[in-house]
Copies of this chain bind each other. A is one copy, B any other.
Amino acid sequence: MRPSSRPANLGIDPARLMGRIEALGRIGALPGGGVSRLALSEADRQGRDCVAGWMRGLGLAVTVDRIGNVFGLRAGAEAGPPVVIGSHIDTVATGGLYDGALGVLAGLEVVNVLNDAAIRTRRPLAVAFFTNEEGARFAPDMMGSGVLSGHLGLAEALAAVGIDGATVGDELARIGYAGDAPVGAIAAHCYLELHIEQGPVLDAGGIAIGAVTGVQGICWTEYRFQGQTNHAGTTPMAMRHDAGYVAARVAVEARRLAGEIGGVQVATVGRLAVAPGLVNVVPGEALLTADLRNTDAATLAAADERLRAFAAQAAAAEGVGFEARPLARFAPVAFDPELVALVEETARGLGHSVRRMPSGAGHDAQMFAPHCPAAMIFVPSRGGISHNVTEHTDPAQLSAGAEVLLRVALEKAGVV
């Protein structure tokens, strides 16, 4: 799609964008730095009120749906599904200022620019933030966009019990965001999400913009091994059934397998535990989790099966029982190729270095992708750090991403 003519001197206001980011960052601020706005908490409510207030101040028509997603609609010359710019404002318990907030507030900055320039778009434009993207207080993550898209049932989501025992339904009502707008179907012309990378690739490469091609599929499996607890001194090596040894072999194999598969394949053993855990006792039980990800579903499934087969063989060789339990399975999501190309060309046209890359983390965009063209724009995360109070992206980098977002959104919405 060739970028059409549009006002050449349009530009975002970096200070205004940072001003809103910092203002929202004061809501739920932690003493040492960083933010805690767990989904549907008091801080989340205050954050919602703040952003909804900005929406109204920008003349957007604000609606709240039944899972608490908030939309601010800017009418276009024509009726029809809007270009949606979205992300989330809830955070993890020790979060930063940018994860989610950037995409929402850059959307408000886009609206602000259009208002200031008195630009009327052909299609409507909406800025949205979705309930409980993080999944830190209530599982699963991407709950609001999941319910909106029909991926997750509303009743099931409302019944979800949080880490503190409260339910989503009760908390939504308590904070006054149990809205009326229907859920279960996406009505969008396309979806755009600006987000920090949460990884080290752009930062390490000195690259300004990531044109995100899709989201990695995820495969989480828990392995449990049952061997025989024994005395570390009196049990000959040949007579052992060491569950911990087998788990260690599987952990080493996960790394080797990722290397052999190559490409974007990642493999992580995040949990590894043995019991009874005494220095002089051969471990009779062990547990590990394997987190495998790839953008190709078949490759991912094959990796999972190969690791499982290895675990079975290693367990058998040691006379140890094992069971593999799937913890989570998310299919890879590919973003719309034309939209991805538009992001890339737009970044280049603005003079920014840009790189195509998959997202290793889940985002609201993946809930939209099956229903309408969707794409994401990444900006660097310093040191790749995320979900951490020290999460940081330079103001200039944030603005560069917002500039790309503005132009892509305008291209998709069309100017009258």
Residue in B222, B244, B386 whose CB lies within 8 Å of A272: B244
Which residues A278-310 have CB closer than 8 A to chain B? 278-283, 286, 289, 291, 293
Asked whether, in the complex, the Cβ of A233 is within 8 Å of the Cβ of B293, the reply is yes
Residue A327 interfacial (CB < 8 Å): yes
Dominant secondary structure of chain A at its interface with chain B: mixed
Contacts of A268 in B (CB 8 A): 232, 242, 280-282
1/0 per residue A359-390: CB within 8 Å of B?
Answer: 11110000000000000000000001011000
Asked whether, in the complex, the Cβ of A233 is within 8 Å of the Cβ of B266, the reply is yes
Q: If A245-B251, A248-B272, A283-B270 touch, does A231 touch B277 (CB 8 Å cutoff)? A: no
Asked whether, in the complex, the Cβ of B252 is within 8 Å of the Cβ of A248, the reply is yes
Asked whether, in the complex, the Cβ of A235 is within 8 Å of the Cβ of B280, the reply is no
Residue A198 interfacial (CB < 8 Å): yes
Interface residues of A, count at CB 8 A: 59
Nearest B residue to A240 via CB reads: B268
Q: If A245-B251, A274-B271 touch, does A279 touch B234 (CB 8 Å cutoff)? A: no
Asked whether, in the complex, the Cβ of A237 is within 8 Å of the Cβ of B266, the reply is yes
Asked whether, in the complex, the Cβ of A234 is within 8 Å of the Cβ of B360, the reply is yes
1/0 per residue A200-228: CB within 8 Å of B?
Answer: 11001000000000001010101000000
Interchain Cβ contacts under 8 Å between A and B, 5 examples: A199-B234, A231-B384, A237-B266, A247-B272, A271-B279
* Chain A interface residues toward B at CB < 8 A: 197-201, 204, 216, 218, 220, 222, 230-237, 239, 242, 244-245, 247-249, 251-252, 255, 258-259, 265-274, 277-283, 286, 289, 291, 293, 327, 359-362, 384, 386-387
The 4 closest A-B pairs by CB, nearest first: A199-B234, A233-B360, A234-B360, A248-B251
